[in-house]
Amino acid sequence: MNTRRFRFGVSGRGNTLAEWCDFARKAEDLGYSTLVLPDHFTRQLAPLPALAVAAQATSTLRFGTEVLANDFRHPVVLAKEAATVDLLTDGRFELGIGTGSLDVDNRQAGIPLDSPAVKVERIKETLAILKAFFADEKLNFTGKHYQVDDLLAYPKPIQKPRMPILLGARGDRMLRLAAKEADIIGLLVSAADLPRKMAVVREAAGKRYDQIELNALYLRVQIDGLPEGPAQYAASAGLTGSKEEVIDKLRADRELYDISYVIVVGTAIDAFAPIVARLAGS
């Protein structure tokens, strides 16, 4: 695989319009490539409208979902909203989707919780619907889980042929699907599992492997003891240590596993900024 240049994202934070826009501007000023939001029924903003608003406060920052839960939106609703966000961000949107990572979201919201096999079946159909919506004037689809009849596929994304699609993947079925369908794979796997999981990706991707960007999301980040917190984490649990130790780890992960797109939790935006300054674009 041709070595991709590093780029870095940060998960957004803010409880008011002013806080949210200030965070977005800060991420852009510090050199982060992407501002992302997850998709949970917790104390967070709804991702799609929040990202569209943040675009109005920035000029170069890209925006992504890490990741939208397929259970929460019908694919045609998602397609229309994603295309709208790409339009409203002037082509700076990356659509991240997955089968859902927290079962409690479904239980609390009363959304049926299907087996992993059924979830993969449905997201496979979702991907087909999304790609057809972004490409065609009218959409027709007949699947096991979704049926669409002569739907006007409007609006269209600014990015051509469409915005990048990130698939969050942990299990082998999702990794194989992502290897065949995604532009970016969000590797939701442990360090111990990474070698075997990457072998699954490489085998499933075949000749298109070089076209795929590999992403890792770190929710535990502490650089030179910052940000301060009650818990200290082992290096295997996230990105922890001195600046040089973390830089060495990121370079090693790119060398071994081709991971070049790294996202960190929003509380680490300042502590991680020197590493962004050092590695972004290299």
pLDDT at 236 over 50: no
Contact 264, 218 (CB under 8 A): yes
Q: Which residue has the higher pLDDT, 45 or 234?
A: 45
Of 55-64, 73-82, 146-155, 233-242, the one with minimum mean pLDDT is 233-242
Tell me the pLDDT tens digit for each residue of 69-101.
999 999 999 999 999 999 999 999 999 999 998
By DSSP bridging, strand 213-218 and strand 147-152 are unpaired
Mean pLDDT of 141-155: 98
pLDDT at 234 over 60: no
The superfamily in CATH containing domain 7-279 is: Luciferase-like domain (3.20.20.30)
pLDDT at res. 101: 86
Q: Radius of gyration over alpha carbons of the chain, in Å?
A: 18
Residue whose entry in the numeric block shows the structure tokens 């079925």:
173
Would you call 234 exposed, middle or buried from its count of C-beta atoms within 10 A (0-12, 13-18, 19+)? exposed
CA distance 159 to 163: 5
Average pLDDT, the chain: 95
pTM: 0.96
Helix (H, G, I), strand (E, B) or coil at 255: helix
Helix (H, G, I), strand (E, B) or coil at 160: coil
pLDDT at res. 235: 38
